[in-house]
């Protein structure tokens, strides 16, 4: 199992979540190659691309310094689970990271905390680095009272080695990012509940204008980028701006 200390001197981490895009392999390769060329001389940022599963093996061999992640995984390593992709399969492909518990999966696939919990454990067991997405609902002001507090408690006990992505629902895909001050408060609150060395990313309407502030002013270890990661030039700018932070 990964240990938390592996992350203490970690580079800034910029994770591209392509979600269900683009619709052709040709476009996926083009996007990947543009990003690869644009970030190749940047040393102090780890860039992770999470394409749809189906493109992973096709763009894996184009790999440079870019790391790969999946957008989800199942909680068993193999067996009679039609349609699922296991952590072992991802590991075998050379994937390092896996996003788990994204709000879109909670919403459209009805993923529950208990499932997310099992997925995190299965990913850690096989040596993947899970990126657990958590949010804060507008009605619940403090993380202590959050409906997601269960995750944090379980995480504290079981999940050393995970990365947290704070992704407020109102900011995801809306073009309305969380204020830097509010995001900073959440980062500090999450850290207090967990461990001071746990890496915490910010996600939600990140673009090249605001990226640096989340790292420099709000102190996040990195970013989880959705929409803006589909535009190679915009994504490269995000990486460059964070590299300067």
Contact set with ligand PGA (CB under 6 A): 17, 167, 172-173, 203-206, 224-228
Closer residue to ligand PGA in complex, CB, 88/205: 205
Q: What SS3 state is found at 97?
A: strand
Residue whose tokens read 């184009």: 62
The partner residues of 48 in beta bridges, in order of sequence, read 15, 67
Residue 53 to residue 219: CA distance in whole angstroms: 31
d(CA 161, CA 176): 30
In the bound state with ligand PGA, the residue whose beta carbon lies nearer, of 161 and 227, is 227
Cβ of residue 52: shortest distance to ligand PGA, in angstroms?
Answer: 14
Taking 3-state DSSP, the helix, strand and coil percentages for the chain, each rounded to the nearest 5, stand at: 45, 15, 40
Q: Which of 46, 102, 111, 151 is catalytic?
A: 102
- Whether 102 is catalytic is yes
90 or 131, CB closer to ligand PGA? 131
Helix (H, G, I), strand (E, B) or coil at 171: helix
Closest separation between CB of residue 224 and ligand PGA, Å? 5
The Cβ of residue 192 has, within 10 Å, a number of other Cβ atoms equal to 11
Shortest gap between Cβ of 7 and ligand PGA (angstroms)?
20
Q: Which residue is nearest to ligand PGA (CB)?
A: 226
Pick from 28, 47, 27, 31: nearest CA to 39: 47
In the complex, minimum distance from the CB of residue 56 to ligand PGA, in angstroms, rounded to a whole number: 18
Residue 167 annotated among the catalytic residues of the structure: yes
Exactly one of 46, 104, 111, 167 is catalytic; which is it? 167
Sheet strands (E) in the chain:
12-17, 45-50, 67-70, 97-100, 129-134, 163-166, 200-203, 222-225
Q: Compare residues 86 and 229 and give the one whose CB is closer to ligand PGA.
A: 229
Pick the closer one to ligand PGA by CB: 3 or 176.
Answer: 176
> At closest approach, how far in Å is the CB of 102 from ligand PGA?
6
Residues noted as catalytic: 102, 167
């Amino acid at each position: 199992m990964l240990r938390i200390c592996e992350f203490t001197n970690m580079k800034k981490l910029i994770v591209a979540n392509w979600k269900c895009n683009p619709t052709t392999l040709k476009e996926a390769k083009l996007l990947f190659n543009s990003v690869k060329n644009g970030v190749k001389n940047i040393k102090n940022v780890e860039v992770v691309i999470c394409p749809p599963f189906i493109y992973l093996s096709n763009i894996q061999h184009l790999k440079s310094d870019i790391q790969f992640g999946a957008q989800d995984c199942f909680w068993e390593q193999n067996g009679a689970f039609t349609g699922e992709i296991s952590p072992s399969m991802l590991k075998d492909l050379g994937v390092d990271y896996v996003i788990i518990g994204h709000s879109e999966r909670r919403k459209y696939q009805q993923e529950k905390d208990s499932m997310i919990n099992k997925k995190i454990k299965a990913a850690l067991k096989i040596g993947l680095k899970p990126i657990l997405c958590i949010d804060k609902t507008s009605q619940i002001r403090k993380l202590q009272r959050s409906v997601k507090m269960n995750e944090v408690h379980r995480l504290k006990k079981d999940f050393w080695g995970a990365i947290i992505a704070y992704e407020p629902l109102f900011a995801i895909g809306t073009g309305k990012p969380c204020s830097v001050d509010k995001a900073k408060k959440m980062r500090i609150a999450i850290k207090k509940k967990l461990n001071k060395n746990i890496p915490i990313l910010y996600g939600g309407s990140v673009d090249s204008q605001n990226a640096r502030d989340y790292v420099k002013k709000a102190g996040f270890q990195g970013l989880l980028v959705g929409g803006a990661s589909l535009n190679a030039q915009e994504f490269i700018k995000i990486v460059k701006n964070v590299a300067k932070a």
